[in-house]
Amino acid sequence: MKMVSKDKLKNIVPLFDGWQEVVILSCLQGHMGQAWADDEDAPTVAKIESMGFCYVAGDANSPQAGELLRQIPVDSELQINSEAWRKLVAEELPSTVYPLTRFKFKKDATLFDREKLQLYARSLPEGYVIASIDEAMFRRFPTEVFDCHCVQFASCADLQQYGAGFVVLCEGEPVCVASPYSYCDNFIDIQIDTEEGHQRKGLATACAARLILECLNKGIFPSWDADCDESRYLAEKLGYQLEKEIVSYEIGLHKIIYQANRLFEDSGFDYNICGGFALDMFVGREIRKHGDFDLSFFREDKRKVIQFLQDNEWPVYARTELREFFLVTDPDDDRLNGLENMWAVKPGSFANMVPLDGKENTYTYKIIEPRLQGFDFIEISFDKRENGYFVIDSEDGKGARVERALDKAILYKHGIPYMSPELILFLKSHPFNMEHEYLKPKTQNDFPAVLPMLSNEQRDWLMDALDKAWPEGYGWLDGLLKVEGEN
């Protein structure tokens, strides 16, 4: 996808014909947000992203439509307006979208009862006053509580030109704010927030009523969207009439990540998502389809991890050769000493564990599906932790030792721990991963997708670790890393 420059925005306007969203109009008019398309001059598909919302339009049957969806960032809310796009969302993002109900209201200024709005605006409890967001108040935003207010505007003059904003003050401090979330010519989207401890006192009603009246006086329509019943009821109280309910989609982490976190979050031992899913967590989108799911634990917890999995009806298989495993029946089995790679596989997984004839308690595997279908397979690595560092020793014990401070080796997204990207890329640099017919394409995909997003410190650590581990060079990565280092 290509970012659409302001002078080419007119080319995607026909794709969004029929949409009445302020966020879309704002972007198309050059105010807020960013647009992408498959082609700036002759687009077949396009998306607009702004303030956490994403809208897609165009031909859902275009060869580029799937790529457009896959590039939507995690934590966005996706809105679509056709069954063709809805079907494509189900096909392309089956495990990362979470349906939401959103209420759309009519954009009709004649529906408002101004006398009632004036009454609401005056109906504040004792100790509270409403004030307009003036220059001095504008400079106080954003705050920790009101982090989305006024950030859309370069100055208070811009706020007053395209809309207005009001605050409810208690002892001189803002405790409720109503201001534009998005804006375009002659329209705003209203956002309202009330500080905890001051809610359910009618502050939002009064503040919103004042903002609506001010906008109407300026010839600006104050648009309202609701994503919950409380917001819907307040809108209807203020005079809005429901036009329709729609289903939008929250773009989240892969469902398997949430399922794994629910399983292990109260286990009593440390764990982290690793492999390709962890790279997705860092990048903020799915960088490729995944054939397995990887978790890292620490070696001192091996027995507890195996016992926990078995208690939760996860059969555990310890790898002894590339394609040979034995079913672990006793977490204290001496054979587990030194074995740091295992699989936890439930019946019906994409990897079917098959007994080997003539070998007692020895299994190989048969791949039933090309990709992971659900949370029924975990590839486990038991990694080394020592004196506050994540440690990777050389295979023969004689080569370079690589270390990464634990607070940099393990990151968090939505409270879920995952292995840092530079550490994963280093592990992927092993010659086996670089040349194996199944692993090499994944490695070749992951490095260019992740390298540009690393911080300077992460990139420096990775380069230093690679130089220590592979002083004679690292194959095809040499050229890629050189180019990245020059950018």
Q: 409 lies in a domain?
A: yes
pLDDT digits (tens, 9 = 90+) for 110-143: 999 999 999 999 999 999 999 999 999 999 998 8
Q: 82 lies in a domain?
A: yes
The pLDDT, as a whole number, for residue 398 is 58
Phi-psi region of 6 (alpha: psi -120 to 50; beta: other; left: phi over 0): alpha
Model confidence, pTM: 0.76
pLDDT digits (tens, 9 = 90+) for 6-55: 999 999 999 999 999 999 999 999 999 999 999 999 999 999 999 999 99
For residue 91, give the CATH number of its domain: 3.40.630.110
CA gap 178, 181 in Å, rounded = 9
Q: 283 lies in a domain?
A: yes
Q: 282 lies in a domain?
A: yes
The range of the structural domain enclosing residue 281 comes to 255-419
Same domain for 234 and 170? yes
Domain boundary among 47, 69, 95: 95
Same domain for 91 and 130? no
Closest CA to 183 of 225, 221, 217: 221
Task: State the burial class of residue 357 (Cβ atoms within 10 Å of its Cβ: 0-12, 13-18, 19+).
Answer: exposed
Strand 166-170 versus strand 316-321 pairing type: unpaired
Same domain for 347 and 320? yes
The pLDDT, as a whole number, for residue 79 is 96
Q: 12 lies in a domain?
A: yes
The two most distant CA atoms of the chain are separated, in Å, by: 88
Same domain for 75 and 168? no
DSSP labels, 141-207: -S-SSSTTSSTT-SSHHHHHHH---EEEEETTEEEEEEEEEEEETTEEEEEEEE-TTS-SSSHHHHH
Same domain for 137 and 271? no
The pLDDT, as a whole number, for residue 367 is 83
The pLDDT, as a whole number, for residue 472 is 73
- Residues of the chain with pLDDT > 70: what percent? 94
CA gap 327, 319 in Å, rounded = 9
The β-bridge partners of 132 are 166
The pLDDT, as a whole number, for residue 471 is 78
DSSP labels, 170-189: ETTEEEEEEEEEEEETTEEE
Domain boundary among 419, 439, 457: 419
Same domain for 381 and 276? yes
For residue 187, give the CATH number of its domain: 3.40.630.30
Chain centre distance of CA 437: 31
Name the stretches of the chain with pLDDT < 50.
483
The pLDDT, as a whole number, for residue 214 is 98
Residues 449, 441 contacting (CB under 8 angstroms): no
SS3 assignment, position 307: helix
Alpha helices in 370-455 (DSSP H): 406-409, 421-428, 431-435, 439-450
Total domains in the chain come to 3
Same domain for 149 and 273? no
**Segment holding 89, helix H or strand E:** helix 83-92
- Enter the tokens of residue 286: 């799915």
Same domain for 302 and 368? yes
Same domain for 158 and 214? yes
Q: How far is CA 190 from CA 160, 204, 246, in A?
A: 14, 11, 19
The pLDDT, as a whole number, for residue 479 is 56
Place of tokens 């308690």: 361
- Enter the tokens of residue 240: 């809005």
Q: 36 lies in a domain?
A: yes
CA gap 247, 7 in Å, rounded = 32
How many residues does this entry show for the chain? 487
- Enter the tokens of residue 295: 């978790």
Q: 143 lies in a domain?
A: yes
The pLDDT, as a whole number, for residue 262 is 95
Same domain for 398 and 300? yes
Domain boundary among 45, 60, 95: 95
Same domain for 409 and 266? yes
Same domain for 173 and 284? no
Residues 168, 174 contacting (CB under 8 angstroms): yes
Q: 459 lies in a domain?
A: no
